[in-house]
Amino acid sequence: MRRGISKKRRAYIALMRALMGLSAGLTAALVLFLVVYVMAKGIPELSWDLLTTKPSYLRGTIGILPDILNTVYIIIAALVFVLPLGAGAAVYLTEYARNKRLVAVIEYAAETLSGIPSIIYGLVGMLFFCSLLNMQTSLLAGALTLVIMNLPTVLRTTQESLKTVPQSYREGAFGLGAGRWRVIRTVVLPGCVDGIVTGCILSIGRILGESAALLFTAGFAHAIHGFFQALEHSGATLTVALYVYVKEAGEFGVGFAIAAILMVLTLIIQLAAALAGRYFKRRRGS
Amino acid sequence: MRDSKHALESVIHGAFLLLGLITVGCVLLITVYLILSGIPAIRQIGLFKFLFGRTWASTASTPQFGILPFILTSVYGTAGAMAIGVPVGFLTAVYLAKAAPPAVKGAVGAAVSMLAGIPSVVYGLVGMLVLVPGIRTLFHVPDGASLLAAIVVLAVMILPSIVNVSVTALEAVPREYEDASLALGATATETYFRVSVPAARSGIAAAVVLGVGRAVGEAMAVMMVSGNVANMPSLFQSVRFLTTAVASEMSYSSGLQRQALFSIALVLYLFILLINAALNFFLKRGKEE
């Protein structure tokens, strides 16, 4: 087959194939380097004391337990709001909205939201939640800022999954005399569980990695609180703590320890997202 | 009974309408807030002096608020990141979408989504400890924290956006186009680049624009490697981006200085809105094709 090909063409093909392989190889090597480097630097820094204490000025020790707790709290608080809001908006768009114009406006708004840089969310969150609504710098203000940020993610994943609920299910339910709300409750919502779960996983990943939006909304305190108490107080998440320890205190060891934790969590989330995707696909197929 | 059921339905309809409108409300909130808080400083400083002033000295005894260094740094930094990230991302995407064997595709695809998931502070940390000293020794400059370091970090960070969107566009190219090209005697590789890529050009353009948006908006990673001094951009100088200009002075600013930071955020927001409009244009055109 290759016999009739001129030298020039053969050179072009070889060049393009080489460039493609090189680029893909470079991308894969980059990821491998990042994971291995962060793990190699970070895991030796991890210790039981680091993970289970809070920083102490008296003893001059650093502990990241408060930051771990804050991260968990802020994820829970943000999800509690964003999942119903995002899923509800998706239900409206696919089940209720008849006005094409309105749908287009809402979808454009969602796209705009997903393009806004996190530093701008942080700024507006600071002005709106912390100052105007008088929440001060607190985990709740940070969580609410993250709610706005993750709204488009949950909206999109739920919308995708609603589209896969067969129209005939809805028609069948309507045909049996069910009202729209009943149809949504019994037929539509069970069908969008996978979208909500996927949106949930993606949001957790994004919140875990977020820092710029939290610096000025959730702040960087390292105190240990219970869940509801913590929401009223300022607190650093793992990413913010990494930034503060590295940039302001020059504590690179702690930075790498946190980075290694974040890396492991990111890997877990990637795995969870992939597994969930595969599971839902298979279930839909059968 | 019927009426009450009807009433319930309307209430629920109203509730869902409200939920649907939340995204619109959020965009309006952000826009209104940025305009309201961004305008006063611009009026006080003067639009021209603000946008084209070459000196930012917010804490000097006679403060100067020119943000041209930030604008140019953001533009140059993004352009530099695109110059590295687009070719690599584009070629990776063609490979993944068309040429890669399934196992390789799975592995590299997973690597790309991992790249998207790594928090930006981790990029910043690795950049600080690998890239910055590397640049210092490689180019014999006094400090490696520079525009170049930021460009490299941004190039890596935009890769996943470019790869993922391009792969989606390339996979949507109708099989018939490629079959026709193959039947006419083109080889597989020629078909990818001369038939599939042109057919997916709108989607690839969208991928590039998305990458631009990511690069312009990134703050933390850039803050950690760029040195954060308000110089006019130069490859080996310490620089400050629009995003980092907002972040770096926010915690201790007050008065006109603080308001000027809001104005910088407004300028950044306008850039992002423009980029979003371009993104939408390409996505829509891609769908029509």
B260-270 average pLDDT score: 91
Shortest Cα–Cα distance, A49 to chain B (Å): 22
Query: pLDDT exceeding 70 applies to what percent of chain B?
Result: 99
Q: Is there a contact between B100 and B108 (Cβ–Cβ < 8 Å)?
A: yes
CA distance linking residue A223 with residue A67, whole number of Å: 8
**What residue type is B231 in one-letter code?**
N
Confidence label for B160 from pLDDT (cuts 50, 70 and 90): very high
Does A140 lie in the same domain as A16? no
Does A10 lie in the same domain as A65? no
Does A155 lie in the same domain as A250? yes
The encoded tokens of residue A265 equal 């969590």
Does A154 lie in the same domain as A199? yes
pLDDT greater than 60 at residue A1: no
Does A276 lie in the same domain as A238? yes
Confidence label for B9 from pLDDT (cuts 50, 70 and 90): confident
Q: Is there a contact between A69 and A226 (Cβ–Cβ < 8 Å)?
A: no
Does A63 lie in the same domain as A26? no
Higher pLDDT: A281 or B181? It is B181
Is the alpha carbon torsion for B124, B128, B129, B132 positive or negative?
A: positive
Query: pLDDT exceeding 90 applies to what percent of chain B?
Result: 45
* B94-136: pLDDT as tens digits: 999 988 899 999 899 889 999 999 999 999 999 999 999 998 8
CA distance linking residue B52 with residue B55, whole number of Å: 9
The reply to whether A32 touches chain B by the CB within 8 Å rule is yes
Q: How much is the ipTM here?
A: 0.89
Across the interface, do B125 and A17 touch by the CB < 8 Å criterion? no
Q: Is there a contact between B146 and B239 (Cβ–Cβ < 8 Å)?
A: yes
* B22-45: pLDDT as tens digits: 999 999 999 998 999 888 888 888
Phi and psi angles of residue B65, each rounded to the nearest 5 degrees, phi first? -125, 65
The reply to whether A236 touches chain B by the CB within 8 Å rule is no
- The DSSP-derived string for B23-70 is HHHHHHHHHHHHHHHHHHHHHHH-HHHHHH---EETTSSS-EE--HHH
The chain-wide mean pLDDT, for chain B, equals 89
pLDDT at position A85: 92
Residues in CB range of B90: below 8 A, 6 or more apart: A23, B162, B166, B204, B207
Q: Is there a contact between A108 and B27 (Cβ–Cβ < 8 Å)?
A: no
Higher pLDDT: B260 or A55? It is B260
pLDDT greater than 80 at residue B260: yes
Of B112, B119, B185, the CB nearest to A27: B112
Looking at the structure of chain A, the number of domains it has is: 2
Structural domain boundaries enclosing A136: 49-285
Of B8, B19, B91, the CB nearest to A89: B19
Does A53 lie in the same domain as A39? no
pLDDT greater than 70 at residue A286: no
Does A84 lie in the same domain as A171? yes
C-alpha dist (Å) from residue A32 to A26, A64, B122, B124 = 10, 26, 14, 17
Across the interface, do B9 and A179 touch by the CB < 8 Å criterion? yes
Level-2 CATH architecture, domain B56-288: Orthogonal Bundle (1.10)
Does A105 lie in the same domain as A25? no
* A210-249: pLDDT as tens digits: 988 898 888 888 778 777 777 778 888 899 999 988 888 8
CA distance linking residue A11 with residue A25, whole number of Å: 21
CA distance linking residue A13 with residue A18, whole number of Å: 8
CA distance linking residue A162 with residue B5, whole number of Å: 25
A152-172 average pLDDT score: 86
Of A16, A102, A127, the CB nearest to B193: A16
Across the interface, do B119 and A26 touch by the CB < 8 Å criterion? no
Does A157 lie in the same domain as A64? yes
pLDDT at position A145: 93
Confidence label for A269 from pLDDT (cuts 50, 70 and 90): very high
Does A278 lie in the same domain as A213? yes
Confidence label for B266 from pLDDT (cuts 50, 70 and 90): very high
Q: How many CB atoms lie within 10 A of CB A12?
A: 17
pLDDT greater than 70 at residue B289: no
* A4-54: pLDDT as tens digits: 788 888 889 899 999 999 999 999 999 999 999 999 998 888 888 777 778
Q: Which residue of A has its CA nearest to B119?
A: A209
pLDDT at position B1: 52
Q: What is the CATH number of the domain that holds A167?
A: 1.10.3720.10
User: What does chain B come to in residues?
Assistant: 289
The chain-wide mean pLDDT, for chain A, equals 87
**What residue type is A127 in one-letter code?**
L
Does A192 lie in the same domain as A77? yes
Across the interface, do A113 and B273 touch by the CB < 8 Å criterion? no
pLDDT greater than 60 at residue A170: yes
Taking the domains of chain B in order of start, what are their residue ranges? 56-288
The encoded tokens of residue A191 equal 């069908």
Confidence label for A136 from pLDDT (cuts 50, 70 and 90): confident
Confidence label for B2 from pLDDT (cuts 50, 70 and 90): low
Higher pLDDT: A132 or A73? It is A73
Across the interface, do B272 and A123 touch by the CB < 8 Å criterion? no
